[in-house]
Amino acid sequence: MHPRSRITLEFILDNLVWFMLIVVLALFSALIPNYFQIGIFTNIIEASSVLGVMSIGLALVIITGHMDLSVESVAALSAMAVGILFCSAGIGMGIKLSPEWLMIPVSLLLACAIGALIGLFNGFLVVKLKMSAFIITLASFIWVRGIVLAVSGGRSAQDLDPAIRWFAIERFAGIPLSAWIAIGCFLVFSVMMAKTPFGRHLIMIGGNETATFRAGIRVTRNLIIAFVMAGAIAGLAGWLLAIRTSGATANLGVGLLFNAFAAVVIGGVSLKGGVGALPGVYAGVLLLASINTAINLMGLPANYTQVIHGFLVLAAVLLDTFKQRLRQRLA
């Protein structure tokens, strides 16, 4: 194959999900009345903020060749902790800090710290004790959700302090600041994965952990950091959930894990590890949000969302297999 053709083909393979997003948006704009308008696209970006942030952490762990099924429950626990402390109705304690602006960094640090601790627990068991990441994080998915139910008693915390909700209320360029947080996270972590030794080491570990270890790279430390970061980012997603819904309920965020998996896989991250980039994951998140918006505008039952997401994931896995075989032929 001519070198220029090979470069073009590899560019298309690396950015396939972005082309899919453009085609889907063009089709929906042409076929669905009222879809093509700035307000709809703004809503798509806003609706994808929580899922997008959660997908970042999940993608980091999957790129290393491991799995983290606990992110959804971690986000719920972080949101519940923020809700209990800073909500004024329901089970909320209505705590006030002075000066008022302190409530934002304190609540954010609390949410991320809870997630980081659970991530450290998962990482220690998986990396140090060589236990199955699937089993360990599945157990965390269950016991962390159990803690949410236990501390809340099945009740909800409502009316989050306006000082914290400021990020969900204020807008810049027509987009809520909470959505800008998600965009900023994708930019920061994309640069980290592409331009820093740590990011490149995570990809190398996912490609071949043994060879990476023999190359003198500290595999154990990097893997544990990846789990801690995934937990902290899930905590941030929980904080965003709390400020979007102005509180927390015991079943907050249910189903986000599977949507995050769908976004990561559709975004081009290989479940075998070693392959994937975060800009593609963001495109996957936007693609899911675009489809959800189309379903709402067409007035279809919500059950269709699950059906379409399921087929999208299946198509993404088949596409990933096809891309890997094509890359092997190009190599």
186-202 pLDDT, tens digit per residue, is: 999 999 999 999 999 99
Other CB atoms within a 10 A radius of the CB of residue 102 amount to 12
What is the residue extent of each domain of the chain? 38-330
Is pLDDT of 211 > 90?
Answer: yes
Is pLDDT of 166 > 90?
Answer: no
Distances (CA, A) of 161 to 86, 87, 126, 151, 247: 6, 6, 38, 20, 9
Q: For 94, what's the count of Cα atoms within 13 Å in the CB-facing half-sphere?
A: 5
Instruction: Tell me what pLDDT residue 299 has.
Output: 82
Instruction: Tell me what pLDDT residue 331 has.
Output: 64
257-299 pLDDT, tens digit per residue, is: 988 988 998 888 888 888 888 999 999 999 989 988 888 888 8
Q: What is the mean pLDDT of the chain?
A: 90
Is pLDDT of 330 > 70?
Answer: no
Is pLDDT of 1 > 70?
Answer: no
Is pLDDT of 313 > 70?
Answer: yes
pTM for this prediction: 0.91
Q: Which one-letter DSSP state was computed for residue 236?
A: H
Which of the four pLDDT bands, split at 50, 70 and 90, describes residue 4? confident
% residues pLDDT > 90 (the chain): 60
Distances (CA, A) of 317 to 18, 71, 225, 268, 271: 16, 21, 27, 9, 9
Instruction: Tell me what pLDDT residue 265 has.
Output: 86
- Work out whether strand 247-248 and strand 157-160 pair parallel, antiparallel, or are unpaired: antiparallel
CATH fold, domain 38-330, is ABC transporter involved in vitamin B12 uptake, BtuC (1.10.3470)
Q: What is the mean pLDDT of residues 83-92?
A: 93
